[in-house]
Amino acid sequence: MTSGGSTLPVRELCTVRIELAAGAPLALGRSPWRNRRVSDIAGGRFTGPRLAGTVRPSGADWSESGVNAAGDGVTLIDVRSVWTTDDGAEIYVTYAGRLVAPAATLEAFRDPARVETLTADSYRFRIVPTFETSAERYGWLNELVAVGFGRRTAAGVEYALFEVL
């Protein structure tokens, strides 16, 4: 992975496809502090060279959304979830991040029927996941730093996750 002439050493961790519960996110509305909404996780699947399994329907994204000065849709991501590996280990996965959908693409981005027509460079969707597990065989997850690049899908989200070496 390169940026500004320097290279960030990374190794592929996995790709995860998360399905969100049908319907619009639960909008909690604008409080004095934020504009929170909740998108429940319905399930999913992750696959990679050292990590594969299912995303349990036990978590959600407690995101905050708004609009910046340019009219772009901005989202502060706050996800908590549980993943189960194919060999039975439970992993608590949390991630924070930022999503910016430019005003010109915002309508298509919000429409599940049109979102997959957008190119990867038409919006910015980045996360920083952390992993926690008591399974000794996956103890290495407790110590790594990871980054992810996301995209919206008609049914939810998909992330390419990388371990920072």
| Continuous segment of H or E residues that includes residue 109 | helix 103-110
pLDDT tens, the chain, 165 aa long: 665 668 899 999 999 999 999 887 888 888 877 788 999 999 999 999 999 999 999 899 999 988 999 999 999 999 999 999 999 999 999 999 999 999 999 899 888 889 999 988 899 999 999 999 999 999 999 999 999 999 999 999 999 999 999
pTM greater than the 0.75 cutoff = yes
Token readout for 19 is 């399905």
Domains of the chain: 2-164 (2.40.160.20)
Q: Distance from first CA to last CA of the chain, Å, rounded? A: 11
> In a 3-state reduction of DSSP, which class is residue 26?
strand
